[in-house]
Amino acid sequence: MSSRKQIAVVSKTSGDAIDAVSPVPLHTQIREVLRRRILDGSYAPHSQMPSESQMMEAFGVSRITIRQALGDLQKEGLIFKVMGKGSFVAKPKAFQSLSRLQGFGEAMAPSGYETYSMLLSARQVEASQVVAARFGIRPGDAVFEIQRLRYLNREPISVDVSYFPPAIGERLVQEDLATRDIFVILENDFGHDLTHADLQIEAISADESLARHLGTDEGAPLLRMERMTYAGEQPLDFEFLYYRGDAFQYRLRIERS
């Protein structure tokens, strides 16, 4: 950490100015200034934040106000603290909402992310007990397996292992799986009306193969999603999705009624 250059104190531009008479608390205004600087890249990942004293002078506020703003940013995962050294900018995590059934590219495009997929394998295989149970077939029956390495802004983010009825899988491999979501192909090209999905998420450790594909260490934390997608009541697409735990998160908003 000591070799990393500390980023400059925020400039006193109109976009960074805080309003002492605003009903919005000072620490909230400062938090928003710092958050904007982090998200637009002005404060690069792993760069050291200005010291509390520098920010006190720049914003003209007390130390406790600065600490409240930094505490909020730390709770959001935008910064992390190192004892005796100060605060540092965390690598931002992309996220996908679980409130809508979307493909990866569909979910990332509105935030301006570039997505791409590398086809690792495509073949007909015998259904395992887990896959067979999801499709309501017998273990050993034929299914079509497609494995892809998904990239986000040119960095590997997930390994997707998907299973389909053989006739659908054989058609899918003729399509552009590098730049198009399978959900979009199933709906727009094949005419399937995707209605809902059952899913579960758990934390696992990367094995040698997943670590190699994702460019992380063996044993590194991953998020694994199992998702069964339906067209009406017909099971159509069963997937194991393995996401890097340090670069991606799922979010879900729930209502109390």
What per-residue confidence (pLDDT) applies to 4?
A: 43
What is the amino acid identity at position 112?
G
- Domain ranges within the chain, ordered by starting residue: 1-92, 94-251
Residue pair 149/118 in contact by the 8 Å Cβ criterion: yes
* 222 Cβ contact partners less than 8 Å away, ≥ 6 residues apart: 203, 204, 205, 206, 210, 214, 242, 243, 244, 245
Burial class (CB in 10 A: 0-12, 13-18, 19+), 154: exposed
Residue pair 183/194 in contact by the 8 Å Cβ criterion: yes
The domains spanning 1-92 and 94-251 adopt the same CATH topology: no
Distance CA 163, CA 160 (A): 10
Distance CA 78, CA 92 (A): 6
What per-residue confidence (pLDDT) applies to 92?
A: 64
Distance CA 55, CA 37 (A): 14
Distance CA 14, CA 238 (A): 51
What per-residue confidence (pLDDT) applies to 248?
A: 80
What per-residue confidence (pLDDT) applies to 253?
A: 79
Each residue's pLDDT, cut to its tens digit, for the chain (257 residues) gives 433 444 555 544 445 678 888 899 999 999 999 988 887 778 888 899 999 999 999 999 999 999 999 999 988 778 888 888 899 988 766 778 888 899 988 888 877 778 899 999 999 999 999 999 999 999 999 999 999 999 987 889 999 999 999 999 999 999 999 999 999 999 999 999 999 999 999 999 999 999 999 999 999 999 999 999 999 999 999 999 999 988 787 777 788 87
What SS3 state is found at 177?
A: coil
56 conformational bin, left if phi > 0, alpha if psi -120 to 50, beta if neither: alpha
What per-residue confidence (pLDDT) applies to 195?
A: 96
Range 94-251 has CATH code 3.30.1050.10? no
Per DSSP bridges, beta strands 142-152 and 155-164 are: antiparallel
State the Rg of the chain over Cα.
23
Please state which architecture CATH assigns to domain 1-92: Orthogonal Bundle (1.10)
